[in-house]
Amino acid sequence: MATSPSADAEVAEFAGQLFFWLWRASHTRIAEALESIGLTPALFGLLNILGAREGATQQELGLAMGIDRSTMVLLIDEFEAKSLAKRRAHPADRRAREVAITPKGRQVLEQGRQMALQVEDEVLRGLTSGERRQLLKLLRHAVSTAPPQPPWRADEGD
């Protein structure tokens, strides 16, 4: 039976609790939608960053997403197996590997972005477009000033 948590201030006074409820509503829906195109939320997040940072190195992508090196290797391996991205030698550093999104990867990214927008519309349907912009602005600021976290590892789950 589906339930809606209480948003009453007496019950939902902590931001972490509210973040968890919104994350859960969003994550379960987006995970289900992305599965239909062969992605997980973690793979979609990485593909989204890769689409914006064409030619970034594996290390740069890992830092941007807060993912440890061994997990990043696994995710890029999965992209290559699905023909969504490919590694290539970095032109200025022979030790580094750039990751390039493929045309198929761009197509899958666009599908995933549309799914993410649909889920966001559903989860945040009670907010006006101005309130959504303000929420995103506040969340970006909170993320940029939050304490550092250890890198995410695949064994933590998606």
Instruction: Return the domain boundaries, the chain.
Output: 16-143
pTM of the model as a whole: 0.83
Angle (nearest 5°) at CA 95 between 91 and 101: 55
Please, what is the end-to-end C-alpha distance for the chain in angstroms? 24
Distance CA 149, CA 130 (A): 30
Confidence of residue 140 (pLDDT cuts 50, 70, 90): very high
pLDDT at residue number 91:
83
93 Cβ contact partners less than 8 Å away, ≥ 6 residues apart: 57
Q: What is the C-alpha to C-alpha distance for residues 87 and 94, in angstroms, rounded to an integer?
A: 12
pLDDT, position 96: 82
User: For domain 16-143, is the CATH number 3.90.320.10?
Assistant: no
